[in-house]
Amino acid sequence: MSAVTTSTVSTTENQYERFRMQKDIGTELIVNIKKVLKDKDINFTEDLANSFEFVMKISPNEPNVGTSFVATNNLYANIVDKGMRAGQWVNYDALYDWVSTKLWARTGLDEKDFADVTWKILKKIKNKGIDPTHFAKKAIKMVIGKHGVASPRRTYKKKTKVSGAIEDKRSKYSKAYSNAKTKVNQSAKKVNKILKKVRKNVTKTSNLRKINKGLRQINKYGVRTLNTLEKYK
């Protein structure tokens, strides 16, 4: 009898409750195995699906300690689950029984054709092997997906001298960057003040040029052009 999954039972005052819980999980696992086999269309005879059972073994010396598992006595359960490499032969009689049952129910072929089909499948398996289905793993994942798993404890890394030195350097560079940024902002403000003064002086110079131009016109044309000076004020 080959086990699909095993778990160790160690009980104290809640031994019966723990046994019941493990039996419920084992029963649910069997239901999921049957579902996966049916979905993959490898459950035609149902011999494989019906071969699984929940087993619990209690230690005779320690009644509070035991082992529970889901097991099967089917000869080809492991091959269906794990697959088989090319170059190996499977049992002819077992394959013939499967072929005859499946073909007779679905195609209505005569018994004389069963042997030919069996040999063809046998040779194909010999040359190409059998792909794995991983039905057991998928069934276990279905149980875990429904009930969840305990999250591992969070671990914290101990701060070493090297990591501490790195953090200190990062802090030092961060402060230096902040100080440099502050100085740049202060310099930018000073530059803006200087630019304002320059703009103001440029405006005064422009007005002075306009006045000089007006005076030159007065000297050239006389007092009659005095009124033109007003627009240069």
Q: Is it the case that residue 213 has pLDDT exceeding 90?
A: no
220-230 burial, b at 16+ Cβ within 10 Å, e below that, comes to eeeeeeeeeee
213 dihedral zone (left: phi>0; alpha: psi -120 to 50; beta): alpha
The reported pTM is 0.54
Q: For residues 192 and 115, what is the distance between their CA atoms, to the nearest angstrom?
A: 99
What are the φ/ψ torsions at residue 145 (nearest 5 degrees)? -65, -30
pLDDT per position as a tens digit, 153-192: 544 455 555 555 666 666 777 777 777 778 777 777 776 7
pLDDT at residue 127 tops 90: yes
Tens of pLDDT, residue by residue over 9-67, are 444 556 778 888 888 999 999 999 999 999 988 877 788 999 999 998 877 776 666 78
Cα–Cα dist 169/171, whole Å = 5
Residue 2 has pLDDT above 70, yes or no: no
